[in-house]
Amino acid sequence: MSCTAASSRALRRTLLQSCAPRSRNGAVQQLSARRCYATDPKQEETESFKAQLYQSTGERLKRDKAEQARFATHREAEKARGGSPPWLVPLVLTVGAIGGYFYGKQVPNDPDTASTKPLNNLEGPKHDTSPATLQSAWGEFKAIIGEENISTQPSELASHSGSEWSSHPSHPGDVPFAIVKPGNTEEVSEIMKVCHRRKIPVTGYSGGTSLEGHFAATRGGICIDFSRMDKIIALHKDDLDVVVQPAVGWENLNEDLKQDGLFFPPDPGPGAMIGGMIGTGCSGTNAYRYGTMKDWVLGLTVVLADGTIIKTKQRPRKSSAGYDLTRTFIGSEGTLGLVTEATLKVTPVPVSTSVAVTTFPTIRDAANCVFNVVGASVPVAAVEILDDVQMKCINDAGSTSRSWKESPTLFFKFAGTPSAVKEHVSIVQQMAKKAKSTSFEFARSTDEADELWQARKEALWSVMAKKKNSEDSVWTTDVAVPMSRLPDIIDETKRDIARSGLLGSIVGHVGDGNFHSIILYNKSQHAVAEELVHRMVKRAIEMEGTATGEHGVGLVKRDYLPHEVGQSSVDLMRKMKQAFDPLCLLNCDKIVRMQRPKQGEIQEW
């Protein structure tokens, strides 16, 4: 017989016996009804195998019983101690949660593939303005620009966060920790690297003439004051361009350019500087003839939020090389980058200039005259409107050398050859007469022209002179509409101001459909003034106009943008802001909101 057959029979006998009932001591009980027959003649080998199997099974049972007894003993001991410590489960859960969080942080999120960034999908900015961080940064700023170029004087901090002519009321917390004054582009870059590494918010500052809360330090942080960067770097007379730093004032620039028979046309309010003019995309009285700021900037040197220095363009008059980064930064109000140099176009001073002043019975008559002059393409250099209230304020202030007729008035400026100026004055005189003008006066010399034009420049200051005490404020705002709607909006706004009971004037660069309102009010009348401005802006937008012709958006006008350009366009601006400044360090909260507003914070449309 083979070994394989013998092993099989032995295994069968083992299985049969393992099925038999056993006594308590493990012996097999014999059953009369069932017998097991041995078929293997080698009985001793089979019994030896069975003995080994019994021994192995017995040992296994002993181990099982010992394990059960040990478990029972452990369970009784746990019961005696009152169970597991109460802190054990929470500890395990906490450790697991923390581990899961850090693991999740290591796993990259899916990229944001949307072309726009709605406010609801945005987390608020996370800055670090803790005293320890700011003090440490102060030490780094000191190493970059010197202690003498850093200020923490309360009076200077206040003047770098608002002004008495701003339409945004200053809040106690909207002040920077310190004012730092770099002297060149490289120092601005090093300062921004510190702020980027430490997540410190930054507000840029040049002339401080902005009106819509542009330089309010809503997030604290630091203010970068460009007052030391006030140099004209290079004049390329043959190419008709000039390279300047941001704290060069437009008036000072024109004084220097006059020596070479040149001038820079944009002329906003007195005191404005090139950096702020670029930031707001301003214009001024010459906008009708010469255009706005964006038409006179060739290229910029800009420091980005992380300290990177870029140059948007070289000096040619035109270029189709890539995206127009220059115009992207114009009007961005320091939210995308800090301008440290600008290459500007300049133009020859006109051979001859003159000014004419004409009055009208009503503001609508004056606006109709402007519409007719513009429609006839008469090449005037500028046309400004001042209503009867404004003319009275100028007389009361005594800021000019003469007294004016207190009626709606148009100021025209003419430029060109002497014969061209004479012809254009004659054409405008005839058109004004057809529009019901009651008087027409024109300058016969440069001194007379300067004297006539001086009244226009005194508009804001003459209204401010009406303030009776420290609780009085002025709200200066502007809108612009298509030229055909100009008479309507000026007339309706004039009547709305009269109904409000507030002192308010109308003045502006009406040649391109842009006009301003200067409103005097006290603290108790703030809500009335706010509603008046709201209706004015709403009126302009509904006439397919804009909430701001040249003052910029800042804090005051940002919630009008969705009504003017659409919510998707605003969401695209927010996406651009994130692309240029992911940490939202630069002039945060201006132009577009980067954090959800509180309930009731946005005025109903």
Q: Which domains does the chain have, with CATH numbers?
A: 3-79 (no CATH), 115-349 (3.30.465.10), 352-556 (3.40.462.10)
Residue 203, class by beta-carbon neighbours within 10 Å (0-12 exposed, 13-18 middle, 19+ buried)? buried
Q: Residue 323: what pLDDT? A: 96
Phi/psi at 563 (5° precision): -75, -30
Q: What is the pLDDT of residues 151-176, one digit of tens each?
A: 999 999 999 998 888 888 878 888 99
Is residue 39 predicted with pLDDT exceeding 80? no
Q: Residue 88: what pLDDT? A: 59
Q: Residue 482: what pLDDT? A: 95
Q: Residue 87: what pLDDT? A: 63
Q: Which residue has the tokens 């010992």?
A: 66
Q: Residue 25: what pLDDT? A: 44
Is residue 100 predicted with pLDDT exceeding 90? no
Cβ contacts of 242 within 8 Å, gap of 6 or more: 232, 234, 235, 236, 253, 257, 264, 343, 344, 346
Is residue 44 predicted with pLDDT exceeding 50? no
Strands (E), 436-555: 439-442, 472-480, 503-508, 514-522
Phi/psi at 474 (5° precision): -115, 140
Containing H/E element for 70?
helix 43-81
- Strand, helix or coil at 21? coil
Amino acid (1-letter code) at residue 46: T
Distance in angstroms between the alpha carbons of the first and the last residue of the chain: 106
Longest dimension (CA), the chain: 148
- Strand, helix or coil at 490? helix
pLDDT band at 186 (very low <50, low <70, confident <90, very high): very high
The region of weakest confidence among 111-125, 253-267, 384-398, 496-510 is: 111-125
Is residue 492 predicted with pLDDT exceeding 60? yes
DSSP 597: P
pLDDT band at 3 (very low <50, low <70, confident <90, very high): very low
pLDDT band at 139 (very low <50, low <70, confident <90, very high): very high
Nearest to 305 by CA among 251, 218, 224, 364: 224
Phi/psi at 414 (5° precision): -120, 145
Bridge partners, residue 503, by sequence: 520
Nearest to 218 by CA among 136, 146, 127: 127
Q: Residue 399: what pLDDT? A: 83
C-alpha–C-alpha distance, residues 140 and 132, integer Å: 13
Containing H/E element for 300?
strand 297-303
Cα-based distances in Å from 507 to 387, 389, 458:
7, 10, 11
Q: Which of the pair, 74 or 275, is modelled with greater confidence? A: 275
The two structure tokens encoding residue 568: 């998707």
Rounded to the nearest angstrom, the gap between the alpha carbon of residue 164 and the centroid of all alpha carbons in its chain is: 23
C-alpha–C-alpha distance, residues 228 and 448, integer Å: 37
**Strands 409-416, 382-386: parallel, antiparallel or unpaired by DSSP?**
antiparallel
H helices present in 486-587, as ranges: 486-500, 526-542, 561-565, 567-580
- Strand, helix or coil at 253? helix
The region of weakest confidence among 68-72, 369-373, 572-576 is: 68-72
The two structure tokens encoding residue 411: 């100021």
Q: Are 213 and 203 in contact (CB under 8 A)?
A: no
Containing H/E element for 76?
helix 43-81
Q: Percent of the chain, pLDDT > 70? A: 85
Is residue 298 predicted with pLDDT exceeding 60? yes
Kindly compute the dihedral angle of the four CA atoms of residues 459, 460, 465, 471, in this order, to the nearest 10 degrees.
150
Strands (E), 372-502: 382-386, 409-416, 439-442, 472-480
Rounded to 5°, the CA angle 55-57-62 comes to: 95
Q: Which residue has the tokens 């709403």?
A: 538
- The arithmetic mean of pLDDT across residues 472-496, rounded, is 94
Q: Residue 172: what pLDDT? A: 82
Q: Residue 11: what pLDDT? A: 43
Phi/psi at 417 (5° precision): -75, 160
Q: What is the pLDDT of residues 265-277, one digit of tens each?
A: 999 988 999 999 9
Q: Residue 317: what pLDDT? A: 93
**Across the chain, what does the average pLDDT equal?**
88
Q: Residue 112: what pLDDT? A: 83
pLDDT band at 452 (very low <50, low <70, confident <90, very high): confident
Neighbours of 53 (CB within 10 A): 15
Is residue 420 predicted with pLDDT exceeding 50? yes
Q: Residue 81: what pLDDT? A: 59
- The arithmetic mean of pLDDT across residues 393-420, rounded, is 93
Cα-based distances in Å from 177 to 69, 126, 135, 173, 294:
72, 17, 10, 10, 33
Q: Residue 70: what pLDDT? A: 73
Containing H/E element for 15?
helix 3-19
Specify the pTM: 0.80
- The arithmetic mean of pLDDT across residues 345-352, rounded, is 95
**Strands 232-236, 241-244: parallel, antiparallel or unpaired by DSSP?**
antiparallel
Amino acid (1-letter code) at residue 394: I
| Highest mean pLDDT: which range of 24-28, 401-405, 526-530 | 526-530
Cβ contacts of 307 within 8 Å, gap of 6 or more: 189, 190, 191, 192, 193, 196
The region of weakest confidence among 225-234, 256-265, 450-459 is: 450-459
The two structure tokens encoding residue 116: 């726009």
Q: Which of the pair, 280 or 60, is modelled with greater confidence? A: 280
Amino acid (1-letter code) at residue 349: V
C-alpha–C-alpha distance, residues 314 and 556, integer Å: 35
- Strand, helix or coil at 246? coil
C-alpha–C-alpha distance, residues 574 and 548, integer Å: 19
Q: Are 338 and 224 in contact (CB under 8 A)?
A: yes
Q: Are 289 and 379 in contact (CB under 8 A)?
A: yes
The region of weakest confidence among 48-62, 257-271, 303-317, 495-509 is: 48-62
